[in-house]
Amino acid sequence: MVTCSHLTRNYAARPGSVAGIVDVSLEIPAGEFAVLQGPSGCGKSTLLLTIGGMLRPESGTVSVGGTDLYSLSASQRAEFRASRLGFVFQLFHLVPYLTVRENILAGMSTTQARSLASSVDSLIHDLGLSDRRNAHPGTLSAGERQRVALARALARKPALILADEPTGNLDPANAQLVFQHLDRFRRQGGAVLVVTHGNDAAPFATRTFRLESGRLVQNPSLLPA
Ligand code: ADP
Ligand code: MG
Chain segment 51-67, per-residue pLDDT in tens: 999 999 999 999 999 99
What is the structure's pLDDT at 13?
64
d(CA 98, CA 43): 32
Q: How many CB atoms lie within 10 A of CB 45?
A: 17
Run of H or E including 155: helix 142-155
Q: Which ligand is nearest to the CA of 19?
A: 1
What is the structure's pLDDT at 18?
67
Kindly report, residue by residue over 79-101, the tens digit of the pLDDT: 999 889 999 988 889 999 999 99
41 Cβ inside 6 Å of ligand 1: yes
Q: What share of the chain is helix, strand, coil (3-state, %, to 5)?
A: 35, 25, 40
Is 163 a domain residue? yes
Residue 34 pairs in a beta bridge with 193, 207
26 Cβ inside 6 Å of ligand 1: no
Is 13 a domain residue? no
d(CA 151, CA 123): 6
Nearest CA to ligand 1 atom 15: 41
Is 122 a domain residue? yes
39 Cβ inside 6 Å of ligand 1: no
Is 21 a domain residue? no
Atom of ligand 1 nearest to the CA of 47: 6
What is the structure's pLDDT at 224?
45
Taking the whole predicted model, whether its pTM rises above 0.85 is answered as: yes
Residue 212 pairs in a beta bridge with 215
User: Strand, helix or coil at 69?
Assistant: helix
40 Cβ inside 6 Å of ligand 1: yes
d(CA 42, CA 223): 20
CATH of the domain at 209: 3.40.50.300
Is 188 a domain residue? yes
What is the structure's pLDDT at 99?
96
Is 25 a domain residue? no
**Burial track 14-32 (b if 16+ CB lie within 10 A, e otherwise):** eeeebbbbbebebebeeeb
Is 5 a domain residue? no
With the C-alpha atoms ordered 101, 105, 110, 111, is the resulting torsion angle positive or negative? negative
Counted domains in the chain: 1
Nearest CA to ligand 1 atom 16: 41
Per-residue tens of pLDDT for the chain, all 225 residues: 899 999 999 887 666 666 899 999 999 999 999 999 999 999 999 999 999 999 999 999 999 999 999 999 999 999 999 889 999 988 889 999 999 999 999 988 888 888 888 999 999 999 999 999 999 999 999 999 999 999 999 998 899 999 999 998 888 998 999 999 999 999 999 999 999 878 889 899 999 999 999 999 976 554 443
Atom of ligand 1 nearest to the CA of 42: 3
19 Cβ inside 6 Å of ligand 1: yes
Give the range of the structural domain holding residue 176, as residue numbers without chain letter: 32-57+72-222
| Interacting residues of 37 by C-beta distance below 8 A, sequence separation 6+ | 44, 195, 196, 197, 208, 209, 210, 211, 219, 222
20 Cβ inside 6 Å of ligand 1: yes
Is 142 a domain residue? yes
